[in-house]
Amino acid sequence: MNDFDLILASNSPRRAQLLGLTGLRFIIRPANIDESRLPGEHPAPHVLRLAGEKARAAAAGADGPLVLASDTIVVDGEDILGKPRGAQDARRMLMQLRGRTHQVFTAVAISDPATHREQVDLCVTDVPMRFYSDAEMDAYIASGDPFDKAGAYAIQHAGFHPVEKMTGCFASVMGLPLCHVLRLLQAFGLAAGSDVPAACQQTLAYDCPVYQAILKGESIR
């Protein structure tokens, strides 16, 4: 018998931190897949496909608990902003996003290795960026933090704090929308071991205005 409840198919420390707020026991088993965008693939199908492929890859040959995977993309119109290739690319992305609202799409997939059953969910969050100065942007790039982040920023970065007046799911922009995770877990008969919305808001210091609607099964923007 396994002494854990879930397999997390990600090596993201942010996703591991957020999943830990559920009180569930999990192990980490990253899934390495080709994350290239297919020709003509729109953002929502793209991110849902990647989350599902990650879950199936980590579930292949697994013996035991459910596999949880997630994928996050930063979207400006139909333009998907991945991880920057260097300082110049990071500056280009941050200048493109500055003072405007874009979207973050985070898909979550859960796969059951025993039955091959799979469930997916999608959270789309509007992200209003503040008009940070060139000096702030260059100092942030010099810190090295943007280089492993989609869109070249971390919403939770205390020094840069790029986002203002957020009204959506903060955790989703970090990489794991916990209330969407709860909805999927319930479909598989697995309950969290803690008050997840309360733990999430306390940890992120964010008064979430959408968690109740999400837990009711509503689609939010």
Within its chain, how far is the Cα of 95 from the centroid? Answer: 22
Q: Give CA–CA dist 184/215, Å, rounded.
A: 10
Active site residue 71: yes
Helix (H, G, I), strand (E, B) or coil at 7: strand
Q: Is 109 helix (H, G, I), strand (E, B) or coil?
A: strand
d(CA 99, CA 97): 6
Residue 68 in contact with residue 9, Cβ under 8 Å? Answer: yes
The span from the CA of 195 to the CA of 199, in Å, is 6
Could you tell me if 102 and 75 are in contact, meaning their C-beta atoms sit under 8 angstroms apart? yes
The residue assigned the tokens 């333009």 is 79
Ramachandran category for residue 155: left, alpha or beta (phi over 0 → left; psi -120 to 50 → alpha):
alpha
Selecting among 34, 71, 148, 207, the annotated active-site residue is 71
Q: Bridge partners of 124?
A: 105
Residues recognised as catalytic: 71
